[in-house]
Structure formats: C-alpha cells, structure tokens
Amino acid sequence: MTARVPRVLAIAGTDPTGGAGQHADLKSIAAMGGYGMSAVTAVVVQNTVGVRSIHVPPVEFLSAQLDAVAEDVEIDAVKIGMLGSVPVIEAVARWLGTHRPPVVVLDPVMVATSGGRLLEREAEDALRSMLGLADLITPNLQELAVLAGEDPASSWAEALAQGHRVARAHGTLVLVKGGHLTGDRTPDALVGPDDPEPLVAFDGARVPTENSHGTGCSLSSALATLQVRHEDWPRSLQIARDWLRGALEAAGELSVGHGSGPVHHFHHVQDALEAWGTAPERFSDELWEASAAVRREIEELEFVRLLGDGRLEPERFLAYLDQDLQYLDGYSRALAQLAARAPDEEQRLFFAAGAVSCTETEAQLHRARLRHAEDGAARDGLGEVTRRYTAFLLAATAAEPYPVGLAAVLPCYWVYADVGRHLGELAAAGGTGAHPYADWLATYADEGFQEATRTARRLLDAAAREAPAGVRERMREVFLEACALERDFFAAPVAERRLAGTDRIE
Ligand SMILES: Nc1ncnc2c1ncn2[C@@H]1O[C@H](COP(=O)(O)OP(=O)(O)O)[C@@H](O)[C@H]1O
Ligand SMILES: Cc1ncc(COP(=O)(O)O)c(N)n1
C-alpha cells in the first residue's frame, strides 16, 4: 500500500551547516510531504566555504543503523548520497540486496560544490558497480563523465548521449543535470536505457545566485519522496524542479555562511508561518500595516463597489479602462527604468519582463475596450490622477535611490492584487448570474501576476535590509504616496464626472 506520508531513508554524510548531505535530505523529504529518516555514512567537517575533514565510523556501525531502521519501519524509498569509500559502498550494496525498498535514488556524490573530495578515487569502480541497484541515478556533469569513464561532456547534446550510455550499461534511469553547464540555462532530462531520446526534458533560465550548496542532495531526496506518491518520474521531476527553483530564488533570505550558501527548502511554507504570526518581521509587513486605512478607503469607493457587484455603468468602466491603458504606458517605462538601474541580473530580468508584460497587457486592454465600447466611442485624454501617478513613478524610479523606486512600484502590484481579491469576493457574493466584467476581473487573479507580486515584495524586503535608515524612511513615504495614488486612481472615474467643469480633481 502506498503510504500517505512517504517514509524515506537518506543514507548519506553530514554537513554541520545544514545545507547539504543528510540535513538537506531530511529538509527536502519533509518539504515534499514525506517522513525523513537518516543513516549516517560519514561525519564531515564542512561549511559553505569548504570541506575540512571526514570521519568514517566503523562500517559495522552503518550496517547496524540500516538494520535498526529496516527492522522497525516499512521504508517506501531510499535516497543514497555520499558513500565515500569501498567498505561503505559494499555495506550499502549488501543491505540493499536484502532490503530493497520500492524506490531507490542514488546521487553519486564525488566532489562538493565547494571543492572537497567526498569519494575516494579508488572507490569509483565500486560505486559504478552498484548503479544497477538504483531505479534512478542523479549525477552532475562531472560525476556522469566519471561513471561513463569518459571526458566531461562539453555540450548538452553530448551530456544526453553520455547519460544514455550510462543508463544502458547499468539498466537504470539517469537524470542528466545541467546545473554545471556554463550558459544561462539549467536544463534537466531523464534518460532511460532503451531509447537515446530523453523520456522527458525540462529547460529554464539559471537562477542568478551563488547559493547552490546542496542542490544535488535536495533534488535527489525530493525526487525519491515524490516518486512514492506519483509513481511517475517525469511528474516527480517537474514538481521537484519547480520547488528547487523557488528554493534557489529564496536562498538569499537565509544569510547562512560566507561561501556557496544553502537553498531555502521551506520557502513555500512562508504563507503558513505568516498566518500563524510567526514569520520573521519584514519591512513590507510594516508598510502593509501602515497602508491599511488607505486600502479600506479603496474598498469603500463607489466605483469599486459597483465594479465588484457588476452594476457599474459601461461608460464609467470604459473611462476607467482608458485611464488604465494610459497608466500602463507610464508604469511600463518606470519598470524599464528600474531594470536599467537594477543591481543584479535577477532584478534586471524581473523588471524588464514586467515592462514587457505591461505593454502586452496594454494591447489586451485595447481589445477589451473595443469589446465594451459602442461604435468605437472616442478615447479620453490623460486624466489628472493618471498624469500625477505616472509622473510620480517616473521620478521615483529615475531620480531616487533604487530601493525607493522599488517602494514606488510595489503598490501597483500588491494593492492591485488585493483590490482584485476584494472584487472577486464582491462578484461571488452577487450570485451565479453572468457578471458583465467577468473577463476583466479574471485578470486580477492571474497566477503569473500573483507570483510577480510576491517577487516584487521579496526584492523590496531584501533592498530594505541593506538600506540605511534614511532610505528606509523614504521608502515608507513613497510606498504610502503610491497607495494614496492607487486610491485616487480608483476614485477618479466617479470623481472626474462629478467635478467635470472644475479644474481640481482630488
Ligand atoms: N543556478 C541555478 N538555477 C536553476 N537551477 C539550478 C541552478 N543550479 C543548480 N540548479 C539545478 O539544481 C539541480 C542540481 O544540479 P547540479 O548543480 O547539476 O548538481 P549537483 O548539485 O549534484 O552538483 C539541477 O536540477 C539543476 O538544474
Ligand atoms: C555530506 C555531503 N554530501 C553531499 C555533498 C554535496 O553537495 P554539494 O555538491 O551541493 O555541495 C556535500 N557537500 N556534503
């Protein structure tokens, strides 16, 4: 029977800084919803900078650990990491011969990311001879070359061919990993013994981070856990990759060590921690609290209430769309300015992509407007609030310190996403009848937009941690000013009608 919570045993070495080996395994197993257990092969003195020394307990002691677990617990999967020496390899192979669990993943650990050797050179043959005991092996490019007895592949196509040769020689699945390729992509592919074509291949942009300590350990133990539940390697790999990507992206939040730091295994648990009120205080939490009154004012606006319950007159909706379109033009330029000033590649890519996506949304809005407009009603000019808001954004992103620019653009992601949630609730409360602006409301809930909001918030928090007090204070002012402009923007379709003929619009 498949266990509801997969019981996964990690057979590996230790890392007292908690980023690789056993420690990464246990965290990854738990992060994927499994129950982790561990038998220690070697006690390693290492940190994020390097490996200092290795103590291998008597091999009988390892066998005794393995037996103790197997006699007491039904094991759904085993993940094997650092083995280190011939006697250890032989002991694990012997144990697997008599206690083979349904899923066995072997990560043929040889050299740490930080450079220290974790497998004696004379143990390479012994390791090769036990590959057939695994369902899946997960070598990096250097390890794959050693297992194949060849030079390291110099291209992805060569790596796949090498992976297939190893799979065929040992009758096992091989995960060919692109983490060590030199380009800006990190592909992964599963190659089987029968067909040189991969069973499945994934590609993705490399996460620009130095913190990749323990990625191989984490990926292989996540895969072992997921495979118990899904019994489908491609699906398991897809989930594990998505999770690991998030863990690499959030690695900077950990501030662990001076070398190649660990990944954030539990990045996805942040929301639950927040719900319990135990998440570390973030600068953005402070800003969110400070903006509560303005957000309440937005929810109470006549325009928002009418839009939510579907009673908004079409011409008011059109007036709003017109201004939104013109606003996006300015917002897109503000994001492009942030991209140009971004201190690193991740932020440059994020804001450049945001600028592109705004321009694409602008085109969609044009189409929505045409759908709602009768006989192509005339476009309105640039509204007063739209002008003020875009001028403010362009000035903050061009002339203020970069973190202040981040604070200026965040409300358009975050407050907007929050208003979208509120509008969705209003629409749902209105019953099941067709909502005249349903297609429009759906754009608020878009997962890509929610994800971008989380990223923008994370970048602001990271910038705030490094910023001097004066800059943080300015970030707060600018954030609140942008929130007030969001409010004025939602108020404008009604306010501008009421005040038509006057020159003051507030
Ligand atoms: N900077 C990165 N961005 C995205 N994925 C990465 C990055 N570094 C490693 N990975 C992924 O982490 C996993 C482990 O990769 P790799 O570095 O090749 O192995 P190892 O940690 O065993 O040396 C792979 O799925 C790889 O694609
Ligand atoms: C005990 C142990 N096992 C494995 C690794 C490899 O991990 P990485 O190559 O990501 O540093 C490690 N550093 N320590």
346 Cβ below 6 A of ligand 1: no
Residues whose beta carbon lies within 6 Å of some atom of ligand 2: 12-15, 20-21, 44, 46, 81-82, 109, 112-114, 118, 213-217
Q: Which fold has domain 7-263?
A: UDP-N-acetylmuramoyl-L-alanine:D-glutamate ligase (3.40.1190)
503 band by pLDDT with thresholds 50, 70 and 90: very low
pLDDT of residue 309: 87
216 Cβ below 6 A of ligand 1: yes
Tokens at residue 125, please?
């043959």
Query: Which residue CA neighbors atom 2 of ligand 2 most closely?
Result: 21
219 Cβ below 6 A of ligand 1: yes
- Given the CA of residue 44, which atom of ligand 2 is nearest to it? 1
pLDDT of residue 392: 98
Interface ipTM: 0.98
Q: What are 381-435's pLDDT values in tens digits?
A: 889 999 999 999 999 999 999 999 999 999 999 998 888 888 888 888 776 667 8
Tokens at residue 196, please?
């040189």
pLDDT of residue 190: 98
Model confidence at 379: pLDDT above 70? no
Query: Which residue CA neighbors atom 26 of ligand 1 most closely?
Result: 179
**Average pLDDT for 162-179:** 97
**Average pLDDT for 460-481:** 94
10 Å CB burial of residue 504 (0-12, 13-18, 19+) is exposed
- The CATH-assigned architecture of domain 281-498 is Up-down Bundle (1.20)
Distance CA 435, CA 420 (A): 15
In a mutational test of the pocket of ligand 2, which residue from 141, 212, 217 has the highest number of ligand atoms less than 8 Å from its CB? 217
Reported pTM: 0.71
Instruction: Report the separation in Å between the CA atom of 57 and the middle of ligand 1, taken as the mean of its atom positions.
Output: 30
pLDDT of residue 337: 98
Quick one: DSSP state of residue 111? B
In a mutational test of the pocket of ligand 1, which residue from 80, 177, 249 has the highest number of ligand atoms less than 8 Å from its CB? 177
Instruction: Report the separation in Å between the CA atom of 180 and the middle of ligand 1, taken as the mean of its atom positions.
Output: 7
Quick one: DSSP state of residue 289? H
Query: Which ligand approaches the C-alpha of residue 24 most closely?
Result: 2
28 Cβ below 6 A of ligand 1: no
Model confidence at 496: pLDDT above 90? no
Query: Which ligand approaches the C-alpha of residue 186 most closely?
Result: 1
Tokens at residue 462, please?
């990271």
**Average pLDDT for 479-483:** 97
Helices (H), 130-232: 141-148, 156-170, 215-230
Model confidence at 502: pLDDT above 50? no
> Picking from 183-197, 243-257, 359-373, 446-460, which range would have the lowest pLDDT averaged per residue?
359-373
Distance CA 34, CA 41 (A): 21
Model confidence at 367: pLDDT above 80? no
Instruction: Report the separation in Å between the CA atom of 385 and the middle of ligand 2, taken as the mean of its atom positions.
Output: 55
Model confidence at 47: pLDDT above 80? yes
Model confidence at 94: pLDDT above 80? yes
Q: Which residue has the higher pLDDT, 69 or 271?
A: 69
Model confidence at 375: pLDDT above 80? no
10 Å CB burial of residue 174 (0-12, 13-18, 19+) is buried
In a mutational test of the pocket of ligand 1, which residue from 186, 206, 242 has the highest number of ligand atoms less than 8 Å from its CB? 186
Q: Per-domain residue ranges for the chain? A: 7-263, 281-498
